[in-house]
Structure 1
Amino acid sequence: MARDIRIVAEAELRRVVKLDLGTIDVIEQAFAALSSGKVVMPPILSMEFVEANGEVDVKTAYIPGLDGFAIKVSPGFFDNPKIGLPSLNGLMILFSAKTGLVEAVFLDNGYLTDIRTAAAGAVAARHLAPETVTVAGVIGTGVQARLQMQAAHLVRPFSRLLVHGRNPDKAADCAADLGRALGIEVEVVADPADLVAQSQLVVTTTPSRLPILSAQWLHPGLHITAMGSDQAGKVEIDPAALVAADLYVCDRVSQCAVSGELEAALAAGLMTDLQPSELGDIITGQALGRRSAADVTICDLTGTGAQDTAIANHVNGLLEGTGTLVSA
């Protein structure tokens, strides 16, 4: 029996799928579902290509109640820009959760991953950042630096933004882009310690393998979202900061222990007697979040297959009647 599979290219996905409050809500619901214990989400399949300065992750999850489940393949080959190619690409395949048949293929080149990752940062800010954020800061100058701050601004509309990056020219470009996108004052800051000192909300968006944010920089009323550590060996936050914070939260503890900030802390002999909360548990009220405006909170985002399944189902609904249908 012939059936139709929807195939959608990046250009159409960009036209239809936006980083807005609706998308943030979809990703928040995915975190809440994770806290139920009913989501089936295997460990991330991850490979590193040392010779090519590349990596690839494969993520998936089944969320009861959703019509489909997604398998996402996300390669990142970071020398590609030297030969005129993008560093990130990939695709999502949406399968029926009832029959296992392919429903859609999203040739997004990483766009949907970028959107759901930024939305996850906004969910963390919504539940963990102070109610009032006047100044925000971002360490990193790439696509996620831009998207994370646009998403954070939707839930904590700060009036001033600070940007720090290793390359001053890239930092200036990032600041200019965000200034235009948000319509607020955006400033490049040469010293990351100064950026943290002035901010109530900080997002780190780098592929660093050495801490770039010191525990000594923590101050009352600070929230940090660390989203760059998504592979073993990566670390952005001084492990001592996780202990010093009033609250350290994971998107998934089992993932953060092997590929997030928690990995470095455990290797340093820290956090071994503590069981961190998960973001979904805070959303659903099963765990306490920020208890006062003076709390220091840190959220460790490694990216989950539940997010991919959630956004793939969301997108499939938005795309009803569009895309190229292929008979299979």
Structure 2
Amino acid sequence: MPDSPPRRDIRIVTETELRQIIRLDRQTVDVIEAAFAALASGAVVMPPVLSMELADVHGEVDVKTAYIPGFDGFAIKVSPGFFDNPKLGLPSLNGLMILFCARTGLVQAVFLDNGHLTDIRTAAAGAVAARHLAPERVETAGVIGTGVQARLQMRAAHLVRPFSRLLVWGRDTAKAAACADDLARTLGIDARVADSAERLVRDSQLVVTTTPARSPLVMAEWLHPGLHITAMGSDQAGKTEIAPEALVAADLYVCDRASQCETMGELRAVKAAGLWPGGTPVELGQVIAGEHPGRPGPEAVTLCDLTGTGAQDTAIATHVFKRLGESGTSIPV
């Protein structure tokens, strides 16, 4: 009688369970920072993002993955974003991650996170950018956008640059006020609504843009010495938050992945306008790895373009798997 194949289990973990396992803290920021550093090594296998726009329903779907040598697993993440969902009382983002064993290719876990892990790793990436590119001292931070990611980005930024004042701007003043009130309570700081995006940028040392805008929200003439901007809303062709003139006016432009930013980030609009001076842009992983000095000086203007990478998804998924404990349901296969 032939031997039976060895039993293996797949862990099925819900959003509720994941929220108990993973938090937006310094450890999570370090995990995502390590993923960016790995990208700089050139050994990571990360195919282009599979992206599909559903314009008639104001939606999109992205599929991301990456294999990082030395990691026990690799993730494939499916992330739908349907931006009219809040009108229905539903979150804009949902989706799931599947974690595979990097040695055998077998499924190890399915994370039914409804976008929670994406939210956390995206916010952590913003903290990594602030840690390496923002001024050492930030008194006033500003966020353009009023949703979940706006709140998470400011919580993440506060971990690495603990500012005492926060400005919030959004097209809906009531939502901006709610966001400011929420962050004032969460962070224990002075948070208020800015009169305009311009006022917010001019008064801040650290700005994060978190919108699905398709026309620029930040203009070149608003930039000032000692400013850092992290733009994370442009993650698909057609989106843009930063005027092309503002990007090229910065003393240093850094992207998460040059090939992605050329097709779906802020760099795409700059190249389309014929304003890119040429050359390969600096990647965040190169700054982390010490291959580039990063911020030129305290008075410099820096800009980081984050489109979201599959390496971040693999990093957060493997981190969660190590911390599972008894959480989740094991399905024998």
C-alpha distance in structure 2 between counterparts of 1:320 and 1:107, whole Å: 17
Aligned ranges 1:126-141 → 2 under 5 Å? 126-141=131-146
- 1:250 maps to which of 250, 255, 269: 255
- 1:202 maps to which of 178, 190, 207: 207
Counterpart of 1:208 in structure 2: which amino acid?
A
TM-score by length of 1: 0.99
C-alpha distance in structure 1 between counterparts of 2:9 and 2:82, whole Å: 33
C-alpha distance in structure 2 between counterparts of 1:85 and 1:229, whole Å: 22
Counterpart of 1:252 in structure 2: which amino acid?
R
- 1:3 maps to which of 8, 17, 23: 8
Match of 1:274 in 2: 279
Q: Is structure 2 residue 265 aligned with structure 1 residue 260?
A: yes
C-alpha distance in structure 2 between counterparts of 1:256 and 1:192, whole Å: 24
Counterpart of 1:199 in structure 2: which amino acid?
S
Q: Is structure 2 residue 149 aligned with structure 1 residue 144?
A: yes
C-alpha distance in structure 1 between counterparts of 2:89 and 2:151, whole Å: 21
Structure 1, unmatched stretches of 5+, are: none
Match of 1:59 in 2: 64
- 1:178 maps to which of 166, 183, 192: 183
- Comparing 84-93 with 304-313, greater Cα deviation is found at 84-93
CA offset at residue 15 of structure 1?
1.0
C-alpha distance in structure 1 between counterparts of 2:323 and 2:87, whole Å: 36
Structure 2, unmatched stretches of 5+, are: none
- Comparing 316-325 with 76-85, greater Cα deviation is found at 76-85
Match of 2:46 in 1: 41
Q: Is structure 2 residue 120 aligned with structure 1 residue 107?
A: no
Deviations 1:194-227 (A, max 9, x none): 1111100000001000000001000000000000
Counterpart of 1:21 in structure 2: which amino acid?
R
TM-score by length of 2: 0.97
Match of 2:311 in 1: 306
Deviations 1:135-173 (A, max 9, x none): 000000000100000000000000000000100000000
C-alpha distance in structure 1 between counterparts of 2:118 and 2:239, whole Å: 19
CA offset at residue 287 of structure 1?
1.3
SS at 2:41 equivalent: coil
Counterpart of 1:320 in structure 2: which amino acid?
G
Match of 1:29 in 2: 34
Does the 8 Å contact 2:252/2:296 carry over to 1? no
CA offset at residue 272 of structure 1?
4.5
RMSD of the alignment, in Å? 0.8
Match of 2:129 in 1: 124
Percent of aligned pairs sharing the same letter = 71
C-alpha distance in structure 2 between counterparts of 1:298 and 1:217, whole Å: 13
C-alpha distance in structure 1 between counterparts of 2:9 and 2:308, whole Å: 30
Deviations 1:285-313 (A, max 9, x none): 11120121001000000000000000000
C-alpha distance in structure 2 between counterparts of 1:274 and 1:159, whole Å: 38
SS at 2:146 equivalent: coil
Aligned ranges 1:153-168 → 2 under 5 Å? 153-168=158-173
C-alpha distance in structure 2 between counterparts of 1:50 and 1:300, whole Å: 24
